[in-house]
Structure formats: structure tokens, C-alpha cells
Amino acid sequence: MRSVTAAAGAAAVLAGLITAAGPASAAAAACSPAIELLPALPGLSGGTVAGFGTGGLVVGESGSRPAYWTGAEHTVHAVPLPAGFDRGRVKAVSATGLMVGTATRDSDRAAIAFTHQLGAATSEALTAPLPEWQDVGVDVNASGRVVAVDNGVAKEWVNGKVVRELPVPAGEIPGTRITSLNGINKRGDIVGTATGSYFDADNDIQVTKTFPVVWPAGGGYPPYSLQVWNGYHHSFSTIGRDIDDRGRVVGLEDYYYRNDPKLTPAVWKKPYDALPADPGRLNGYHDLELSGTSPTTNVAVGTATNFEESWPSYFQAVYWPGKGAPLALPFPAGAPGAVPLSRAFAATDDDRVGGTVSDRETGANSAVIWTCASRQAYAPKG
């Protein structure tokens, strides 16, 4: 593990760039700003931090293998893949070390969600395989409640047993199904994504709607269909990526039509009776997606993107404190390569952010943690 203090490393990178520092949260009062590059598994390279556990436990992937890190030096450990699968990542971990992640196999590009209990010798497949590297959403909350879509059915598990199946919201368009479950908060509220599609013969058009859904904890209330800016054309997909303990959902509207992509950040708040808020863009970047949120401090993190000829070519990790403009997180001294890129996926109440840094030219990358992230976040000059 290499650790670069903000004063010694990040300050040199930021010289001449910072126009306004991000506000420090109350939780950050006792932390020390640093940018930590995490080690890779032996014989492999690169990695991503995707989630945080208790006691310094960090989860993600290393060299396209599921992994976790422990201790102040972030000692790296391999997570066994489910039998027959070749690569994967851990997305989240409960307070008792129950990890959830996704795995793929090279032979037919099938993908599954899996679970792994810290200390166990094996991992267990949770869902039936999906073909051709399809995205598999899965999450676990602090108490160990696991959510994923299995064989077309949205489910919640406790102690390895299915405790409920999650319905499609009433009144949605024909053909609507739940395609992924992406987040579950401490209380047990769940956010996922639904897609519906049908042919409107009267108007001779195909109607498609992809939108987030929130299922309240316990199943005592019907699910909420979250409002979207644009809803009935296949070029628009609106996705809920995470939900905090107050029920705030973060995600994005993903637009792609005729080689004209656009990623718009979106934030929904209870009682989910309004269109999402758009927190704006990072100065110098055209697009932004939000991927994760802290449990209670109102922070969201994600990635700003610029496209070249419809391909995403430049990435910058973003820290949004919940108000004001999105801010950038600095690159560490010694980041891979001369053209650094970064992405952020997870945030904690103690002001840590996890993600990856890489080089655009070579593809070399490293798992990374920003500590005291609010003190390092900055607004780039135009």
C-alpha cells in the first residue's frame, strides 16, 4: 500500500487548479487527508474499491478477481470464485462479513451474483446465470439482507433464505419487469431498476420505459415508481444506483441515440413525488453519473465523463456534498501513467471514498481510497 498525504502529494497536483475547496463534514473532523493506492493480489495488477465494511474492511476487485483488504496497510486477500467462474468482483459487505458480488465465466460469458462469508473456504452462487455478460445488480446491508434479481424474479434473502419477492409497481406499462436490484439501506429500503416495453399499434411505435423503483422495508407498503425526465423511448434509461438511510436515491439518466451519448446525474428524495434533481456537472466535463452515497452524511460520489466520437475517453472521480456543484477528487502522486483517469463508486460516513485510478494510454490501474475526501475535493478551473 502506498499512501500519499494531501500536503505532500495532492497539493502538488492541485496547484493552480483549485478554485473552491469542498466543505468538510463533521465526521471528517478527526481524519487525515490522504490518497491510498491499494496493493493487488500476487501475480495480478490493478483493482477497484467498490464498498466498505466495519473495522477497516474494504471490498472490490483486483486483476478482475474478487478481493478484500484489511488493516491499516490494506493487506489484500482473494475471495474464492463460485465453481466454474473465472472473474468477478465484490460489491458490498455486511457488518458481519457477508460479502456479495458478481462473477462471470469465459466459456459462455454468463454472469451471476454470489455470496461469500468472510473466512469461508468457498463462495456460493446466488442467482441463475444471465447470458452474455449482462449486468447483475446485487447488494447487502449492514444486517445481512441481500437483494438481487434471480431468474427474472426480484428477491430479498436473509440467512440464505428468500424472505420476499418484490413486485412490479401497479399501473406501469405492459411488459414491465424488474431488471436489477442495486441498493439496500440500513432500514431495508431497496432501490432497483424496471423496464417495460410494448408496441403501440395505434401510433405505430415501440414504447419503452426504464426507470428506478423503491420498495419500502418490510413489504408493508407498495413500491414507488420514481419519476423520470424522459420515459417512453428506448434511447433513455433512468437508473437508480444507490439509496441512503434517509431514502435518498442517486443515479443517472443514460441517453444514447445515433452516436450522441449523454449521462445526466439524478437525485430523488422522499416522498418520491417529484422529478429528480440534477446537481449539475463538474467544470470541464460534459457528463456525470452518480454511483454511490454515504449512509447518513448526504454525500454522493460518481464519475464525470467526456466522450470522443461517442466513446467515453476521459474519467474523473467526483465528490458531491449534497448541495452546490459537484467537485473533483485529486489524482495521487504516482498514479498509474501520464494521462490519469479516476472513478468513484462508494462513500462512507467517516469521509472515505473508494474507486479506481488508471492511465488512459496504457490501461494500468489501481484500487484507491481517498480519506478525508471532503477536504481534498476541489472545483477545477474552466
* 314: helix, strand or coil: strand
- pLDDT tens by residue, 325-341: 999 999 987 666 666 89
Q: Is the pLDDT of residue 200 over 90?
A: no
Least-confidence region, from 7-16, 70-79, 242-251, 263-272: 7-16
φ/ψ of 26, rounded to 5, equals -60, -35
> How sure is the predictor about 19, in pLDDT bands with cuts at 50, 70 and 90?
very low
**Going edge to edge, which strands form the sheet with 98-104?**
87-93, 98-104, 111-117, 124-125
pLDDT for 332 equals 83
Q: Which of 138-142, 210-214, 377-381 has the lowest mean pLDDT?
A: 377-381
Distance CA 190, CA 30 (A): 32
Q: Which three cell numbers stand for residue 75?
A: 493487506
Residue-level pLDDT at 333: 75
The answer to whether the peptide bond before residue 271 is cis (omega within 30 degrees of 0) is yes
Average pLDDT over all residues of the chain: 90
Across residues 69-85, what is the average pLDDT? 97
Q: What are 93-123's pLDDT values in tens digits? A: 999 999 999 999 999 999 999 999 999 999 9
Render pLDDT for 136-175 as a digit per residue (tens, 0 to 9): 999 999 999 999 999 999 999 999 999 999 999 999 998 9
How much is the CA Rg of the chain, to the nearest whole Å? 20
Helix locations, the chain, DSSP H: 11-14, 373-376
pLDDT at residue 6, rounded to an integer: 36
Provide mean pLDDT across the span 82-102.
97
Q: Cell numbers at residue 119, please?
A: 473466512
- Spell out a b/e string for 190-228, using b for 16 or more CB atoms within 10 Å of the CB, else e: bbbbbbbbeeeeeeeeebbbbbbbbbbbebeeebbbbbb
Find the mean pLDDT for residues 36-59.
96
Q: Which H, E and C letters describe 43-63, residue by residue?
A: CCCCCEEEEECCCCCEEEEEC
Look at residue 259 in the predicted model and tell me its pLDDT.
79
Query: What is the per-residue pLDDT for 7?
Result: 33
Which pLDDT score, from 0 to 100, does residue 39 have?
Answer: 97
User: Three cell numbers at 22?
Assistant: 469542498
Instruction: At 165, list the grid cell.
Output: 419477492
Distance between CA atoms of residues 378 and 382, nearest Å:
12
What is the predicted pLDDT for the residue at 23?
43
Range in 72-81, 129-138, 329-338 the model is least confident about: 329-338
Q: What is the pTM of this model?
A: 0.90
Give me the pLDDT at residue 1, please: 44
pLDDT digits (tens, 9 = 90+) for 239-270: 999 999 999 999 999 998 877 899 999 999 99
